[in-house]
Amino acid sequence: MDFWRRHRRKIFVSCGVLGGGYFLYKLYDAHRQRLAMIESELANEREKDEIIKRQLLRHFMNIQRIADSTTLPHTIQLLHTRLTDEVDLTSLKDRLIQVKGQSSSVSTSEKLELWERLKIQSFTRIILSLWALTTLSLYVRVQVNILGRHLYIDTARGLGSFLTPDDGSAVESNDEQQFLESIDFLSISGLRALVTKVHAAVTEIMDGKQLQDHFTPQVLRETFLQICEQFMSPATPHEWIHFLMPTEAGSSDLTNTSTNSQMSQDESKFNQLMSETRAVLSR
C-alpha cells in the first residue's frame, strides 16, 4: 500500500502516456491505411484513364480512317454527280458547237446568250465545288471529334471511372452509322437550294464581266471572294448550316434514315449528336 501511495501519480501518468501513445499510434495507422487506400484508388484510376486513352485513340483513329477512306470519298462522288445534274454545262457546250458555224443575227444573239449562261454556270459550279468540299471536310472533322468525346465517355463509364460525366446512354453502332451518313444531306436535300443561292450571287457579281476578259490569278481570287461574301451574307446568321444538315435532326430526308422499328432512345441519341454538331458549327 505504501508503494501505491508513493507511486500512484507516476502510475497514472505512465498509464496516460501509454494510452495516449497507443491511441496516437492507432490514429496514425488508420490514417496511413486510408492514405494507402486512396493512393491505390488513384493508381487504379490512372490505370483506367490510360486504358481509356488507348481505347479512345484506337476508336478515334478507326472513325477517322472510315471518314477519310469511305465516308468522304463516297460523299464527294455523290456530290459530283448531283452537281453535274444541277449545274449542267454539257448541254450549253453542245448547243454552242451547233451554232458555231451559223452567222445569222438570231444565231449571234443566241451565241451571246449561251456564252453568258455558260459564264454564270461555270462560276457557279466552281464556287459550289470549293465551298462544298471545304464545308464537308469541316463537317466530317466535327463529327469525328464529337464521336470521340462520346466514345471517351462510354469507355470511362464501362470501366467505372469516377471521372465519367452523366451524359445519357451510350452511342450504339447504328447511331454512329446514321450520324456519319448524315453528311449526305447536302448532296441529297440541301444542294438545290444552295445552287439557287450561289447562282444568284454569281449573277450579281459577274454582271458586266465577259469570258474573254483577262482574268489574272489575283483578279480571279478577288472575284471568288466577292461571290463568297455575297453568298455568305444572309439575312439570318448561320444560314449556310441549313444547306449542310436538316433544321430538325429527326426530319432528315436521307435515304438511310431510321426505320419505324428503331427505338426512341436511339433516335434521341442521334438527335443529340446532330444537335451537338449544329452547336459546334454555329460558333
d(CA 198, CA 165): 43
* pLDDT > 80? residue 211: no
- Report residue 240 as a C-alpha cell: 449556310
pLDDT at 283: 79
What span, in angstroms and rounded, lies between the C-alpha atoms of 172 and 150? 10
Find, among 130, 133, 123, the residue nearest to 72 by Cα.
Answer: 133
Question: What pLDDT, on the 0 to 100 scale, is given for residue 5?
Answer: 65
- Greatest Cα-to-Cα distance within the chain, rounded to the nearest angstrom: 146
Q: 80 Cβ partners below 8 Å, 6+ apart?
A: none
Where do the structural domains in the chain lie, given as residue ranges?
A: 63-281
Residue 250 predicted with pLDDT over 80: no
> Is the pLDDT at 175 greater than 80, yes or no?
yes
For the cut 80, the answer to whether the pLDDT of residue 233 exceeds it is no
Helix (H) or strand (E) holding 118: helix 105-158
Q: What is the pLDDT of residue 261?
A: 45
Q: Give the C-alpha separation, 267 to 272, whole Å.
A: 9
Dihedral (C-alpha) 117, 87, 245, 259: value to the nearest 10 degrees?
A: 150
**How does the average pLDDT of the chain come out, rounded?**
79
Percent of the chain with pLDDT over 70: 78
User: Within 13 A of 171's CA, how many CA atoms are on the CB side?
Assistant: 25
Which range in 56-60, 186-190, 204-208 is most confidently predicted, on average pLDDT?
186-190
